[in-house]
Structure 1
Amino acid sequence: MQTQVRVRGARRWIMFGAIGFGALFLVVGLILAGVSVSFLANAERARGTVVALEWRNDHNGVSRKNRENDEPVAYPVVEFTSADGTQRSFRSSTGSNPPSYEEGERVEVLYRADSPEDARIKGFASLWLLPLIFGGIGLGIAGVGTVVALATRGRS
């Protein structure tokens, strides 16, 4: 009897832990989506050109033997002219392999008028990838935890 109570208590902690962990990820995803929406609402637009692809091996602290794909990632370097007529350049924070853009390709650039160095390529990955990853993981984990909690509630 004592063991059964402990197991039930442990399951409850795991379920509520999953719901809490998922909710945290969901909130982070919503915050990141809000940042993107705010950026879009206040962003100036300009035409830019991909002038180079900066290839980098981004290991982010992961040892070489633990990485499945050890290929470099291409980050587009974009030049554009801001509304004040100043020629500007930035490296996108979103890279990929194979590259999403080619040298010489024309792209739409979004930037803040008060800080033009904060610029992004207008594209799905640079605006919505992180909010979708965090929100999706959060929704999935919290959803599974909630379904399990509801299913086991009827049995106890």
Structure 2
Amino acid sequence: MITVGTLLMVGALIAVGVSVSFLADAERAPGTVVSLEWRDDIHGVSRKQRANDGPTAYPVVEFTSADGTPRTFRGSAGSNPPSYERGEKVEVLYRADSPEDARINGFTSLWLLPVVLGGIGLVMAGIGTAIEVVRRRRS
């Protein structure tokens, strides 16, 4: 458990680094949620395999990059109920050299993965450490 927890925390640190790197290079542009893409399937897991039976809404966002080209992307984080509404104004972050790599400037799209990985890793490493301490005291 300690090893798996530590690996998850390392993964969280890597995810933080990716987000920080993205933010350091990101251009900002106003965007609009033009639609919600409802999906019944998340990463190959069917509805029958999930505890939550409802579909998940992913925001589809339109923005104009600095070169004047209109762009559209699907947000990486979906939710039910939806986090965004059609027509809602959002701030878009994107790389100038790769405008198709765009994200909504929000907690979920930037920080959810590191928080989840780090939290689970911390709990697992803590439980593993506590078990090991108790085991060594009994020996």
Interval containing the TM-score (normalised by the shorter chain) = over 0.9
Q: Look up the match of 1:4.
A: none
Residue type matched to 1:22 in 2? G
Question: Which ranges of 4 or more aligned residues in structure 1 deviate by more than 6 Å?
Answer: none
In structure 2, how many angstroms separate the alpha carbons of the residues matched to 1:137 and 1:30?
A: 13
Q: Deviations over 1:58-117 (max 9, x none)?
A: 143335443322211111111111111111111111111111001110000000011000
Identical pairs, percent = 71
Root mean square deviation of aligned Cα: 1.3
In structure 2, how many angstroms separate the alpha carbons of the residues matched to 1:152 and 1:141?
A: 16
Residue 86 (structure 1) aligned with residue 69 (structure 2): yes
SS in 1 for 2:138: coil
Q: Look up the match of 1:132.
A: 115
TM-score normalised over the length of structure 1: 0.84
Gaps of 5+ in 1: 1-17
Residue 107 (structure 1) aligned with residue 90 (structure 2): yes
Relative to its length, the structure with more helix (as a share) is 1
Q: Look up the match of 2:22.
A: 39
State the number of aligned residues. 139
Q: Which of the residues 28, 31, 38 maps onto 1:48?
A: 31
Q: Look up the match of 1:20.
A: 3
Gaps of 5+ in 2: none
In structure 2, how many angstroms separate the alpha carbons of the residues matched to 1:61 and 1:78?
A: 24
C-alpha spacing 1:91/1:65, structure 2 compared with 1 (3 Å): closer
Q: Give the Å deviation of 1:154.
A: 2.7
Q: Look up the match of 2:137.
A: 154
The answer to whether the 8 A contact 2:63-2:70 is kept is yes
Q: Give the Å deviation of 1:47.
A: 0.4
Deviates more, 1:120-129 or 1:52-61: 52-61
Residue type matched to 2:72 in 1? S
Larger Rg: 1 or 2? 1
In structure 1, how many angstroms separate the alpha carbons of the residues matched to 2:29 and 2:42?
A: 33
